Structure 1
């Protein structure tokens, strides 16, 4: 299968996107794929970019989830994850 021209550099650029921008681009790609009659090459390129963006968004969400959890040692010495308190609730 032929590589999409510039796909490697585009992949590197995608990794630098903030979550919100990646999500917006992903939504735009989904809308374009659903609404337009695209040539096969364009369709595949957008699909590949969308897949990379979806993976990036999931990774960023996982990272954010870890940041809002903390390890807590129980009375028995077991380590458990505990959600950090929401500052707005205090």
Structure 2
């Protein structure tokens, strides 16, 4: 995807992942107060949900693209009365018994 798709809150997948990584680093510190830990955890859960939604959307798009690329050609039943796009060249009639020449 050339363009970063934005989440409903205006965040791209990449910015959401970056923020989530920052929250994890902060939460791993031993001196983080419990209240801040809970706030970070809540924000992290929301970011995970956003990232999961973005990944699900991307999977659906990829599946559609793959199916279009793998699509079988459409087969149609032969219709003898259907007109061809371009007329076939005229053929000479097969020689009858009188017209048959050996030499």
1:38 offset after TM fit, Å? 1.2
Aligned to 1:34: 28
Partner-residue secondary structure (3-state), 1:50: helix
Q: Specify which structure has the bigger relative contact order, considering alpha-carbon pairs within 8 angstroms and separated by 6 or more residues.
A: 1
Distance 1:35 1:14, change over 3 A: farther
Count of aligned residue pairs for this structure pair: 64
Query: Are 1:54 and 2:52 an aligned pair?
Result: no
Give the structure with the larger strand fraction. Answer: 1
Aligned to 2:18: 24
Distance 1:17 1:39, change over 3 A: same
CA shift digits 1:3-26 (9 cap, x unpaired)? xxxxxxxxxx98321000000000
Aligned to 1:82: 67
Give the structure with the larger helix fraction. Answer: 1
CA shift digits 1:30-85 (9 cap, x unpaired)? 011012421111111000000100111011001001011128xxxxxxxxx83857
User: What TM-score, normalized to structure 2?
Assistant: 0.53
User: What TM-score, normalized to structure 1?
Assistant: 0.60
Distance 1:84 1:42, change over 3 A: farther
- Whole-angstrom CA distance in 2 between matches of 1:14 and 1:46: 20
